[in-house]
Structure 1
Amino acid sequence: SDPSLLVSGRMTAGESSSLTSADYRVTVDGTTSGTPDTIDITVALVNADGTPVTDTDGNAITQSYSGLTAEEGTFNSVIGGIELEFASGDAYAVGDEFLLQPTKEAASAIELAITRPEDLAFASPIRVENNINNLGDTEVISSFVTNTTVDNTFADLGASAFDGAGGIHSAGSSPTGAGGVGAPAEIYFTSATDYQVLDDAGNVIAEVTGATSFSNMLAQAEASDPAWPSEFSAMDNYPGYDFSLQGEPKAGDSFTIGYNTDGLSDTSNGLALANLQTADSMLLNNNGADSLVTFHESYSNIVTDIGQKASSADISLQAADALKSQSNNWFQSVSGVSLDEEAANLVKYQQSYAASARLLSTAQDLFNTILSVVS
């Protein structure tokens, strides 16, 4: 195959929990020319030594796909929480293989970012506060920030509503431009089930009617009201924050959203970080979302697995040493030299030599006696 052909990969948004420690082997099964070109592939999860990753039943984890778009800029979602781009169109050949290793260097890239406790960002970048004159018992149960990218020109579609100057976009400075609305800055209830999303100037951005829950207030507004600015939706993640309420609101109740200047009396980020300890966010044995465990459980499983393999290797080493010793003893018993046995033989040979010498000496004496008689 042509070594210049490449396959690019990236993580699928929102699917990080599906990413495994395995490598991804992509095999081209076929291509079809067209507008656009398409490609058929098989994706297999493999271990570092090239052996297949298996599920709990011992079956190799693999998936085939047909008719995927093969053109630059188009990513196709596959198993394991990744997306693939086949920028070379129909130039790929059947049998071409590509290996992606999205987590191979992850551990080595971990670095210490801060050394002072005061540098820990325990506060959230936004603050959601209820109006002191609210009549209902509604309260904020969570607020979260998913994007803090600053780009007031919006050339970067990943820009958030944060302006980089200690605030959020006001009317005229948001993606809607001059004469448009600003970033969401207030929620105003017109009834117990209806509410408006307003910017900092009081302009209505969107309205929600018949709300059955108050989770993800801004996401609900974007999904339910066509008036939600298309310029907001065209961004990857705008405004980049949201919040949830709990309780029974009354008409006229409101909640303001603003930049959390100085982060006073706010540990929401710290609490969210602490909650990661008990959150099921790590895969167990590459078996999919049904096998999610906590960081602590995942670490314990790794330690247990390493300990088990080390113990097994030690037992194998001891068995190999015993077999080596047994073989060596057998070899020595067949072809080796026993010093004790050889010493005994030397004594025996020495005694035999002495006896033979005595016999010769006696024979000589007899011979000399006979000669003397004759003469």
Structure 2
Amino acid sequence: MSLLSIGKSGLFAAQAALSTTGHNITNANVAGYSRQGVVQSTAIAMGQGYGFLGNGTQIAQVKRYTDEFLNAQVRTAQASSSAMDTYNAQISQIDNLLADSTTGLSPALQGFFGSVHDLTQPSAGVPARGTLLTSADILAARFQAMNARMEDIRQGVNGQITSNVTVINTYAQQIAKLNDQIALASGGDLRQPNDLMDQRDQLVMELNKHIKATVSQADNNSLTISIGNGQPLVVGKRAFELAATTSPTDLTRVEVGYVTGDKVTVLADSALTGGELGGLLEFRSKSLDLAQNSLGRIAIGLAETFNAQHHLGLDADGNFGGDFFSVADPFVSKNFNNNQSSTTTVTAKISDATQLTTSDYQVDFDGTDFTVTRLSDNQKTKIAPFPQTVPQTIDGVDFSISGSAAPRDSFLVRPTSNGAASFKVAITSSSQIAAAAPIRTKVPLANKGTGTISEGTVDANYLANKLAGPLTLAFDSATGSITGFPATQPVTVVAGGVTTTYAAGAAVPFTAGASYTVAGMSFSMNGKPADGDQFVIEPNTGLGDVRNAGLLAGLQSKNIFNSGSTTYQSAYADLVARIGNKAREVQVNAEASKAQLAQAQGAAEDVSGVNLDEEAANLLKYQQAYQAASKVMQIADTIFNAILAIGR
């Protein structure tokens, strides 16, 4: 090759390097841009008799500086950071709602039971009853308002899930389009459309802000992208789609489905992790559902236990108390994918609010047996026998199943989800407050001994054995026993910690300090009665008596939930603590994820980022190379002209 051609090759190489450096400088602030550099190689030398003469240089490649391993770390960190940020933004709303000292449930609970306590005071009267009814309305409104706020958050989550699915589908289509363009433009490993590949990598990075995506290399510089449990999102130039679809068992819940042809398969929330979408799904399943179910459980537990005690009292008109509060039955829905020929019906009733959990349940039929699965821990309980003769109780809920079932029939049961929303005051007048006990006792003045009888209380059994008139008990000194108990009812005596049950009609001994229970009535006797002394138990009138109000007030400190270890207030405090701890955990994780993302981005930038100082130095270097190559060509021209002059 002539000296002129050698200079020309150096000139072209320097020009390409200058253009690439200028390209780097002008794109330094473009998101996702990777630094490029011209890679030169020595042209093939020409053999001469005395050796090989160089033929100049050639451009081997315009190299894109990037590291796929570091990029994968950035994508993973981005998906985690976006998920934690989204989770943190959502759970902080619930945390603030529950823990607020003004609008939270605690002030309303304390105010309500404070009014119940006020009703037990000697000076209490009609005003105290009115105050109690007002406090009950405030408590109901607080339950409903807190649940409504959670429903607003839930609808917001539904909307964000839908928008994220739309964005994910858009990115998938754009990545697939770039895959096609890159494959067509690629000419092997060395000739690559660098700018298109940068655009595609940036789209993949943006995709990971919405969902964690797994990336693998394919032929012709294409990328294959999958999500969830390996569902393909992009394969070559083909993009697959997600769909925001209504839950088959809950029409108020938006789920994410995978589209295959004309079929949409709902994906489990746990399968879609990372990114905003993963954060939303995790928040809903692990925090929002828990908070709403827990609040509903408190509402149902309060209503059921308060009602049970209220039924055992008399109102101002002398009538037995009715329901003080009302709540809805458990939410039950069938899967709309069930066999249309199936006539299965599932109903659920709360039979023991103290045994309720905060979990939802799924009822499935496998073709032979029905199984109830507690979704919080996947504990399964078989419905046996089936067909049922009586409902089967699981965690305080009576499950009743009837009809003709088909294999894979499925139902969702949410016992407590609507508890707070449906919590209402059932009574309409303060006179309906059953503050009085239904029985009273007295010792006739004619008694000669020192025997006494307590005021007496009743339990639920009394409602089936109400006194129609006075019940007179008498002491028989000859036998040391008490007579006059109902002839058809057994009597249980607790004396000195020992419980003894006497059959109906049997002699019941008198023991000072012992407690007696018969026909749902309990009382204790003390002193030393004389022969023939009587003790009278009779129906109460409901006026001037607030003993049942005292028992209602005592429910505030009674252990109700979690196998008799938790009060209403402590159950709510536990909810506040669990959400608060989770909120703090998510906040810390979000901060840690941001730090990891920054670290990963820094490492990737060290490889692919544009350093303007370095590029400025390169400009000078390549400028000098250009000038030097020009000088070579100038000298070659001078030599060539000198040779021509000799020939003249």
Query: Counterpart in 2 of 1:231?
Result: none
Query: Counterpart in 2 of 1:138?
Result: 452
Distance 1:122 1:78, change over 3 A: closer
Deviation for aligned residue 1:7: 1.5
Distance 1:340 1:186, change over 3 A: farther
Q: Which amino acid aligns with 1:304?
A: A
What TM-score, normalized to structure 2?
A: 0.35
Distance 1:141 1:261, change over 3 A: closer
1:43 counterpart = 2:411:
no
1:110 counterpart = 2:423:
yes
> Residue 293 of structure 1: which of 550, 566, 574 is its match?
566
1:126 counterpart = 2:126:
no
> Residue 410 of structure 2: which of 87, 94, 97 is its match?
97
Secondary structure of residue in 2 paired with 1:212:
strand
CA displacement, residues 298-349 of structure 1 (integer Å, 9 cap, x when unaligned): 2232222212211221122112211221222223222222234344555777
CA displacement, residues 70-100 of structure 1 (integer Å, 9 cap, x when unaligned): 3xxx432332122232332xx2245433322
Q: Which amino acid aligns with 1:183?
A: A
Deviation for aligned residue 1:112: 5.8
> Residue 186 of structure 1: which of 461, 466, 471 is its match?
471
1:195 counterpart = 2:480:
no
Instruction: Work out whether residues 75 and 84 of structure 1, in 8 Å CA contact, stay in contact via their aligned partners in 2.
Output: no
Q: Which amino acid aligns with 1:11?
A: I
CA displacement, residues 35-78 of structure 1 (integer Å, 9 cap, x when unaligned): xxxxx43332113xxx52xxxxxxx3x333432443xxx43233
Deviation for aligned residue 1:124: 2.0
Instruction: Work out whether residues 27 and 96 of structure 1, in 8 Å CA contact, stay in contact via their aligned partners in 2.
Output: yes
Query: Counterpart in 2 of 1:5?
Result: 344
Paired residues, number: 273
Aligned-partner Cα distance in 1 for 2:617–2:605:
18
Deviation for aligned residue 1:143: 1.6
Secondary structure of residue in 1 paired with 2:457:
strand
1:272 counterpart = 2:601:
no
Q: Note the 1:225-236 alignment, pairs <5 A.
A: none
Query: Counterpart in 2 of 1:322?
Result: 595
Distance 1:147 1:190, change over 3 A: closer
Query: Counterpart in 2 of 1:237?
Result: none
Aligned-partner Cα distance in 1 for 2:399–2:528:
46
User: Where does structure 1 lack aligned partners over 5 or more consecutive residues?
Assistant: 32-39, 53-59, 149-157, 162-181, 198-204, 215-219, 227-239, 284-288, 364-375
Aligned-partner Cα distance in 2 for 1:44–1:310:
28
Aligned-partner Cα distance in 2 for 1:297–1:328:
45
> Residue 361 of structure 2: which of 24, 31, 35 is its match?
24
What TM-score, normalized to structure 1?
A: 0.57
Q: Which amino acid aligns with 1:271?
A: G
Query: Counterpart in 2 of 1:370?
Result: none
Q: Note the 1:166-245 alignment, pairs <5 A.
A: 183=468, 185-191=470-476, 193-197=481-485, 206=487, 212-213=493-494, 224=504, 242-245=521-524
Secondary structure of residue in 1 paired with 2:493:
coil
User: Where does structure 2 lack aligned partners over 5 or more consecutive residues?
Assistant: 1-338, 496-500, 507-518, 636-648
Deviation for aligned residue 1:106: 0.6
1:259 counterpart = 2:540:
yes
Instruction: Work out whether residues 75 and 83 of structure 1, in 8 Å CA contact, stay in contact via their aligned partners in 2.
Output: no
1:76 counterpart = 2:378:
no
Q: Which amino acid aligns with 1:257?
A: E
Secondary structure of residue in 1 paired with 2:385:
strand
Instruction: Work out whether residues 25 and 98 of structure 1, in 8 Å CA contact, stay in contact via their aligned partners in 2.
Output: yes
Deviation for aligned residue 1:245: 2.7
Determine which structure has the larger helix proportion and give its number: 2
Distance 1:315 1:210, change over 3 A: closer
Q: Which amino acid aligns with 2:381?
A: Q
Secondary structure of residue in 2 paired with 1:109:
coil
Aligned-partner Cα distance in 1 for 2:525–2:613:
93
Distance 1:125 1:302, change over 3 A: same
Secondary structure of residue in 1 paired with 2:553:
helix
Aligned-partner Cα distance in 2 for 1:340–1:185:
104
Larger RCO, structures 1/2 (Cα 8 Å, 6+ apart): 2
Secondary structure of residue in 2 paired with 1:302:
helix
Distance 1:16 1:115, change over 3 A: closer
Distance 1:349 1:94, change over 3 A: closer
Secondary structure of residue in 1 paired with 2:551:
helix
Aligned-partner Cα distance in 1 for 2:472–2:406:
56
CA displacement, residues 244-274 of structure 1 (integer Å, 9 cap, x when unaligned): 3343574432223223333x1x332332233
Q: Which amino acid aligns with 1:64?
A: K
Secondary structure of residue in 1 paired with 2:402:
coil
